[in-house]
Amino acid sequence: MNPSAVKPGRWAPEPAARRERKKRQTRDALIHAALQLFERKGYEHTTVREVTDAVDVSERTFFRYFASKEDLALSFIRDRTAIFLRALAARPPREEPLTAVRNAFHDSLAQTAAPDSAEEMALYLSVINLIEATPALLAANLRYLHDYDDEIVGVLARREGVDPAVDRRPRLLAAMFGAIASLASREWRQKGSPGPEVMAAAFDAYADQLTAALAGPWS
C-alpha cells in the first residue's frame, strides 16, 4: 500500500502552517530591519537593497510582501486598523453605534496584549515617530486614513441599516472615532509608551467627555 495515499489528510496541514509561519517571520524581519535602518540612516537614504541585505533575502522576496518602502513603513498601521475594522464588524448588532466603536477599539487593543505586547507597542511607537518625522510618509498616512474613514463609514452604515450617502451619522461617528483615537495615541506616547491598557483608558476618557464637550456649558 502506498503510504502517501494513507495519511495525506493527517500530514498535509503541517507544511502549509509552517510555510505561513515562515512567511510571517520573513515579513516581520523585513519590517524590523527597515525600521532600524530608517532610524539610523533616515527613511529617504535607506534603499530596499539595504533592507533585504539586512535580512539576507532577495529584493524579489521583498516585493512579494510590500509594494515599496512606503508600503512597508505604513504596513503596521494598516495591520492594526484592519484588526479594528474586523472587530467593529463582529460587534453584536444590538449595541449602539458609539458603544460598538468603543468595544471594537478595546477588542483590537486586546490582540496586542499578548506575551510580546511590549515589543508590539514599542514597534507602534517607532512607526508613529517615523511617520511624523517624514513628510512623504505623513502625507501617505493621511491619504490612507482618509480611505480608512470610508471603510469605517461602510461598516457602521451596514450595521445600522442606513445609507451613508444621505445619512450623515456614520461619517460623523467615523470622524469622531479618528479624532479620539489620535488623541488617545498622543497621550499614550507622552506617557512613555506604557501598555495597551493605558491607551484604552485614554480612549475611554476622551469618549466619556464627548457629549459634555459638544453640548452645554463647560463650567
Quick check: 12 pLDDT over 90?
no
Quick check: 72 pLDDT over 50?
yes
* CA 187 vs CA 5, 52, 191: distances in Å: 59, 35, 6
**Rounded mean pLDDT, 163-183:** 95
Write down the mean pLDDT value for the chain. Answer: 87
3-state SS assignment for residue 192: coil
- Per residue in 112-156, pLDDT (tens digit) is 655 556 677 777 788 888 898 899 999 999 999 888 899 999 999
Output the nine-digit C-alpha cell for 157. 452604515
Domain assignment present for 217: no
Counted domains in the chain = 2
pLDDT score recorded for residue 189: 84
pTM exceeds 0.85: no
Percentage of residues in the chain with pLDDT exceeding 70?
89
Same domain, 117 and 73: yes
Same domain, 85 and 55: no
Same domain, 115 and 196: yes
CA-based end-to-end distance of the chain: 85
